[in-house]
Amino acid sequence: MQSGGDFSNGFHGDQHRELELEDKQVPGLSSFGRAKRRSHAGARDPRGGLANVLRVSDQLGEQKSLETSESSPPPCTDFDVAYFHSYAHVGIHEEMIKDRARTETYREAIMQHQSLIQGKVVVDVGCGTGILSIFCAQAGAKRVYAVDASDIAVQAKEVVKANGLSEKVIVLHGRVEDVEIDEEVDVIISEWMGYMLLYESMLGSVITARDRWLKPGGLILPSHATLYMAPVSHPDRYSHSIDFWRNVYGIDMSAMMQLAKQCAFEEPSVESISGENVLTWPEVVKHIDCQTIKIQELDSVTARYKFNSMMRAPMHGFAFWFDVEFSGPTSLPAKNTSETSVASGSSSISPSGEVNQKKRTNPSDALVLSTSPEAPPTHWQQTIVYFYDPIDVEQDQVIEGSVTLSQSKENRRFMNIHLEYSSAGRSFVKESVMR
């Protein structure tokens, strides 16, 4: 983790300190019992044979016949085994499929790019139940390789069979890093995004699939992704979790407040907020072009930010959300700005709750799936990194600092979050782990 020389773990000259959470071993889920959400084409040898499975490498060091990434595939860990086992549960897939903004946007993106999919070979990375693979087959794909390491691949094969697509959709039960496909592909599709975009590290498998199989100029859906952040005020949430303890049935329980803060705000919180909670225009943390990004770029992402508060309010933390864009290979790349894209245009979130539409520079008006506070709700919601104590800010007050997101050494699917922020002459550091 990085730490600037001008920052301390609390106020300068003050007794208040943000608790340091980096490298703390806390098993299990967050204090809100957040269910892990992301089906990923990765991490263990398949158990049991499937009729439509191509061969899987038995040796980690086996040389591939096609071009591969420079680095060796990451080894399968116990964390990976447990992670993929969790995605055999139908509830996670039900939640994702019932997210209409997510599922219908993917289907629309497939149909918008039907001319690039029809008669072509597709790889679906982290296929889950196989719904995106079937959408591609319905769009006229010549062949679809549906890859998933979870045992949900068994059900995916049955779903494919029930829809009469067994000759077209080939289910591969194994890691993208390990399975073999003996041809180049024209299209890669994947719903790889985790909370805060990068949580659970699935994008690495999409990159691996791209480097192993995608033809030059091939299509990747989604094509671009952008992670945003903004300071937020959320007094209702703070009151509900913390101020509650001041008076409990007439009993002073304020002695519980410090523990309540740690339990409520130690880890990032996945929840829904509105544009009214956002204090400033958002800033870009990371813009991703799926055609060019390298796996090494995902190890650690650092961005500096400078906000100007648009109102007087208590600042309770920072919110993070993301957009993904579905552009064809000849489209102009998404512009790296602090504007949030929704639907077929781009928008900026106003703290007053308004959405200011702007036409994209891309004349094709690329389809965008947004998880911003002003977009239609999704199961990703927004991710909030709360402070243990709010900071009062005035209108036009500057809030600046940096954020570093890095893969945890404990488990690469976890994400370390290191926030440095200062305002009105006071500086802070907040560190947490998204597990």
Q: How far apart are CA 129 and CA 134, in angstroms?
A: 10
Residue range 378-411, pLDDT digits in tens: 999 999 999 999 999 999 999 999 999 999 888 8
To the query of whether residue 431 is one of the catalytic residues in this protein, the response is no
Q: If residue 230 lies in a helix (H) or strand (E), which one and from where to where?
A: strand 224-232
Who contacts 76 (Cβ-Cβ below 8 Å, separation ≥6)? 43, 44, 45, 175
Place of tokens 């958002």: 282
CA-based nearest residue to 189, from 263, 111, 242, 259: 111
Give the pLDDT confidence score for residue 82 in this predicted structure: 65
Summarize the confidence of residues 347-356 as an average pLDDT.
40
Contact 331, 366 (CB under 8 A): yes
Give per-residue pLDDT as tens, 408-431.
888 888 999 999 999 999 999 999
Active-site annotation holder among 18, 177, 191, 431: 191
Q: Which of 191-200, 334-343, 381-390 has the lowest mean pLDDT?
A: 334-343
At residue 312, the pLDDT reads 97
Indicate the pLDDT class of residue 3, thresholds 50, 70 and 90.
Answer: very low
On whether the CB atoms of residues 429 and 7 are closer than 8 A, the answer is yes
Catalytic residue among 18, 177, 200, 339: 200
Domain boundaries, the chain: 76-191, 222-328+364-434
From the CA atom positions of the chain, what is the Rg in Å?
22
Residue 200: active-site member: yes
- The whole-model pTM stands at 0.79
Please state, for a pLDDT cut of 90, what percent of the chain lies above it: 68
Q: Which residue has the tokens 């080894």?
A: 75
CATH number of 76-191: 3.40.50.150
Q: Which residue has the higher pLDDT, 387 or 51?
A: 387
SS3 content of the chain, % helix, strand, coil (to 5): 20, 30, 45
Q: Which residues of 239-277 are buried (b: 16+ CB within 10 A; e: fewer)?
A: eebbeebeeeeeeeeeeeeeebbeebbbbbbbeebebeb
Q: What CATH number labels 222-328+364-434?
A: 2.70.160.11
pLDDT of residue 72: 67
Condensed to tens digits (0 to 9), the pLDDT of residues 5-43 reads 332 222 233 333 343 333 333 333 333 333 344 433 333
Average pLDDT, the chain: 81
Task: List Cα–Cα distances, 355 to 302, 345, 379, in angstroms.
Answer: 28, 11, 21
Nearest by Cα to 351 from 287, 381, 303, 396 = 396
Given a contact cutoff of 8 angstroms between Cβ atoms, the answer to whether 376 and 347 are in contact is no
Q: How many CB atoms lie within 10 A of CB 108?
A: 15
- Contact assessment for residue 423 and residue 399, using Cβ atoms and an 8 Å cutoff: yes
DSSP bridge pairs for 147 = 125, 172
pLDDT in tens, 109-145: 999 999 999 999 999 999 999 999 999 999 999 999 9
Round to whole Å and give the CA distance between 291 and 308. 34
**Confidence check: pLDDT of 359 > 90:** no
| Per-residue pLDDT at 16 | 35
